[in-house]
Structure 1
């Protein structure tokens, strides 16, 4: 057989494995697990890190303020050095819409070794804890040290970490807490439905979630004792005790892909993690141009590969064999009259297309986009290579005016 035929057969074998052996990653029916209302609703603190988010805040923040939660809940909005009036707008929206109590706070610039978002999250968590301690008073704090019941409910039992561009339906917090309590999960995360409006969003966004699920199959994430751990940073309900046990966010302070690092830290300490697709949690951030999507993906792609040239080469070859080879070998087999190459390439492309259909349905997109997945994969290949290129130019992992170093270099830098 020719090299074309062998390539087509390897690609087909890869797709058969992905179809049957990769945790059924292509299925989109994994929603919040079965749940029931708890007898007592725990105290929850919502931590919202934000940097220059005034453009989206009017769509997202009112949805948090309007949460229909039966227990005690409050919002700590951490303005991470915004220059567009984000903090002032957050206070104005809270005054206008009322709802959950909201506190705006400022963390200052992150020290060396910290990403801005995780420094803001740390500040928000610390603020929630100290606020609870202040409200308890000296007698309650003494009772807490002695194990007395007066200490219960004063420090948040759960933290909802959510981004400033995420809009929640009114029952979102209630459903998350019920799912965590009912299933005994330490971390419950929903991948917010991303905005899909422009042509480029239609082509790239559903594939982004598809590729993420392929890399971190959601069913494997929920498996106790399994090694796969992931979360979606836009919506993470985290048990405070589990965060303390895992030492987060300090333990992951340099992580650019902080949601995956957070889930990994919780799971390594024996915590139970659940991740699934959202139905009532949406991102309102627009990515109308290819350049916007390119910047969003390429800023962390090489970090995902641990800044390893070997992993970069392997990823490029893998994308080429798995996604690009099927249509290429199909056409080449037809042109060169090689039936094995044509049949194997066509079968691989058919499986690829079929596994992408559920994600397109989830995003309510035309199913005719499914055969175009190889073209989208080619874009991702270029984005990944560009991410490495920008890293070696000293511009990797850049976001909103900050550029983050490799973790080992960040750790070596002196504290500010």
Structure 2
């Protein structure tokens, strides 16, 4: 077999594989199956840890209070202390709503060195929770009136379920390079692959995506409580692994929730990307999730490399065929982004999808070598496995946020 034929066949195989993985994810985005509704919706406590001042926080808080759940709901907003910049925003929204016994604010203090700030707030909220079920929601989530009900329907309508979680979609129209990168990472890469993997497993995953998640109390007790995630950087994914080990299922809701991010500069987005990759080191299983993205990245770079070799050897047809592989990868993640519910990128930002893959090796290398990450105004030291380095110096206070 001569070189020209070998390169042509390899480029064709890569292109066919990209088409296959696109169709696999596109089919899954049509929706996970709906679960049967319970006769009665039990009471639920929704715990919302808040740190720093998220984009659109006031609207997120109002959406949290207008939850549309048909059963009793208790909402707990959890802060470190009254100095948090988001506290006046929440205080204003609660004052406008008037006094309500179903809404409270808690101050949990700063976390110990072996615990993330989010996990610390979750544990403090759980101690005060009165609901039969417990949910945890990130502060940058803006739910609609069907999200919480569908989440509970999924949890109670699935045999052996210990937790349910919702896929998220970045819905704000991208204004900057950082916005475009953020939206494509969530809507074009992370969520479509997770939804497709869940669809292949009957709606469940061996981990939890924790932006919008609900638990049965008995499941939390069975795994040793939330405290079992001490020392973990990615507490939600770890809790999902624990539930799996104890025979519980982590099921994905069919109803996505919006995650709000807009106006991020490239300088602000890159640390987020590095942090996500750091999370994946200890939080995501290889075969169930990470391998897919490694293969997509490999196809992108292999197609690009073959195109360069073919161009150097004056093989224009091979160069065009192989060069279409990275183009197809970039087109795929933008199309999936739109199909999931994201706003189409303006033409001035369509190049961002290609830039993500071109810079991916450098960013991934940076994530692998990081011994510290900044996350919502805190700095965490990491051990070689990407977990918290549980020494007295692990948590280094920072000013501002």
TM-score, normalised with respect to structure 1: 0.76
Task: Within 5 Å, give how 1:170-249 maps onto structure 2.
Answer: 170-184=145-159, 185-194=161-170, 195-200=172-177, 201-213=179-191, 216=194, 218-220=196-198, 223=201, 228-249=205-226
Distance in 1, matches of 2:191 and 2:13, equals: 20
Aligned-pair RMSD on alpha carbons? 3.8
Tell me, yes or no, if the aligned pair for 1:52 and 1:82 is still in contact at 8 Å. Answer: no
Distance in 1, matches of 2:39 and 2:80, equals: 37
Query: What is the aligned length?
Result: 379
Task: Within 5 Å, give how 1:29-178 maps onto structure 2.
Answer: 29=29, 31=31, 33-53=33-53, 56-81=56-81, 83-98=83-98, 101-128=102-129, 132=130, 156-178=131-153
Quote the offset at 1:193 in angstroms: 1.7
Give the direction of change, closer, same or farther, for the CA distance of 1:352–1:86 in structure 2 (3 Å limit).
closer
Give the direction of change, closer, same or farther, for the CA distance of 1:372–1:66 in structure 2 (3 Å limit).
closer
Give the direction of change, closer, same or farther, for the CA distance of 1:415–1:298 in structure 2 (3 Å limit).
closer
Tell me, yes or no, if the aligned pair for 1:230 and 1:261 is still in contact at 8 Å. Answer: yes
Quote the offset at 1:315 in angstroms: 11
Which of 246, 250, 266 is equivalent to 1:273?
A: 250
Residues 277-318 of structure 1: per-residue CA shift (max 9 Å, x gap): 754x212233421122112121242342349xxxxxx99996
Note the residue ranges of structure 1 that are not aligned, 5 or more in a row: 133-155, 308-313
Quote the offset at 1:177 in angstroms: 1.4
Which of 290, 306, 311 is equivalent to 1:329?
A: 306
DSSP-derived class of the 2:48 partner: strand
Q: Residue 382 of structure 1 corresponds to which residue in structure 2?
A: 362
Note the residue ranges of structure 2 that are not aligned, 5 or more in a row: 284-290, 396-401
Tell me, yes or no, if the aligned pair for 2:81 and 2:109 is still in contact at 8 Å. Answer: yes
Distance in 1, matches of 2:166 and 2:295, equals: 28
Quote the offset at 1:96 in angstroms: 1.0
